[in-house]
Chains A and B, each alone.
Chain A
């Protein structure tokens, strides 16, 4: 089986994880700009982080035949700090032409504050001004419902982003409907303790279909699984789904979404001319 993980924080993972992903069929992945687990004390470290995402990490992945892509931003976990945002956001355009940068992400909300919303709107504006695709993080747990609604409201009020070039990530049963109905791509995250189990992810595929939906493992420094996607595929097989349907979700859909960025290439795939 071949697959693409649309959300994997590999800077938090070991090289052994790249090996596991390659052995289970991962051909490409996308690593959105993340939170270090603590708030940074200086904007200067972001230059170092963006270098890692655009230079060092793609080389580490390439040793295992995995095409490594990234999204750049100030993560929602630090979006409350408006001073930091004012320093970091102007740094981003210098990296947007790097060959593995897909767009702006994962932007969004964390605890759902006015400052986080202001930073979110500024990052949407940055993406629009530079013609970038957008990856949106929706908040965790009890904050997800209201955060997702406010994100959808903010995007609608701005009105400039093409929903087909935006993925709203970490959807669950109470948020996937509004995301799809508004024309966005929906990301389901296989992170059982705080997001979605493999079984619930399959339920959502059965209920909403395969169109504009991707699944990812979102592995990071927390309790997560770099090979969550092949386990999701196994769950789909146990539930009676054909290999063609599984491939649509874990391989063809990521190519359809990420392939809207001309830089996105997968070994063996013909992007934009039907998926090989």
Chain B
């Protein structure tokens, strides 16, 4: 079978009509998460590397350039392409820069 064209088959209007509601829900969930962080009992996670990465990723969301998913994945990735000398823990954190405490994934 021949490769597909890289374009989405649906028109932009069809994409809006069919998928707007689920993405509306997702962005409200993200907004509520940020509000929840602001309402938390203290600000102890303000500089957590995961939140720092999340804030950088949100800037990419506002970009007009395509390739947003790949750019966000790279923001979340360990950029050092070298093996570690030994395993520090079993699980990844979801963003690069974690200290060796319990992972969430």
Contact = CB atoms under 8 A, between A and B. Distances in A.
A140 B76 CA distance: 11
Contacts of A116: 83, 87
A140 B91 contact: yes
B65 interface: no
Interface in B73-105: 73-74, 76-96, 98, 105
A142 B96 contact: yes
A114 B91 CA distance: 17
B25 interface: no
Contact of A173 (B1, B73, B95, B105): B73
A117 B83 contact: yes
A91 interface: no
A129 B46 CA distance: 52
Interface in B1-43: 1-10, 14, 18-19
B1 A245 contact: yes
B70 A173 contact: yes
A112 B74 CA distance: 17
Nearest to B14: A240
Contact of A143 (B1, B2, B9, B92): B92
B76 A173 contact: no
B70 A115 contact: no
- DSSP class of B's interface residues: helix, strand, loop or mixed? loop
Contact of A146 (B2, B7, B81): B81
Nearest to A199: B19
B81 A144 contact: no
Contacts of A174: 70, 73-74, 77
Interface residues of A, number: 43
B52 interface: no
Interface in A220-276: 238-241, 244-245, 248
A138 to B, nearest CB: 12
B9 to A, nearest CB: 4
A194 B89 CA distance: 17
A175 to B, nearest CB: 9
18 contacts: A80-B87, A110-B90, A111-B92, A113-B84, A142-B77, A142-B93, A143-B78, A145-B74, A145-B77, A150-B83, A174-B70, A193-B105, A194-B94, A206-B5, A208-B3, A210-B1, A210-B4, A245-B4
Given A110-B90, A111-B89, 14 more contacts: A77-B90, A114-B86, A141-B92, A142-B76, A142-B95, A143-B92, A144-B77, A145-B74, A146-B82, A173-B70, A206-B6, A206-B9, A211-B3, A238-B18
* Shortest 7 CB-CB contacts between residues of A and residues of B: A209-B3, A240-B9, A141-B92, A145-B77, A174-B73, A80-B87, A142-B96
Interface of B: 1-10, 14, 18-19, 69-70, 73-74, 76-96, 98, 105
